[in-house]
Amino acid sequence: GFKKSFYSKVVNITCYLINLLPYIVIQYKILEEI
């Protein structure tokens, strides 16, 4: 029910953030160099 769909949503968001992390790190390093 609700609990399972909430859990799968959290997993999806977590995977999404993990996929974004390298991009965010690269952007942050570029900003630091300016």
What is the predicted pLDDT for the residue at 14?
97
What is the predicted pLDDT for the residue at 16?
97
State whether residue 12 is helix, strand or coil: helix
Domain count, the chain: 1
Cβ neighbours, 10 Å, residue 5: 9
Domain that holds residue 2: 1-34
pLDDT tens sequence across 5-34: 999 999 999 999 999 999 999 999 999 987
| Exposure string over 7-22, b if 16+ CB within 10 A, otherwise e | eeeeeeeeeeeeeeee
Residue 1 confidence (pLDDT) above 90:
no
Give the containing element (helix H, strand E) for 8: helix 2-33
Tell me which residue of 33, 31, 11, 13 sits closest to 23, measured CA to CA: 31
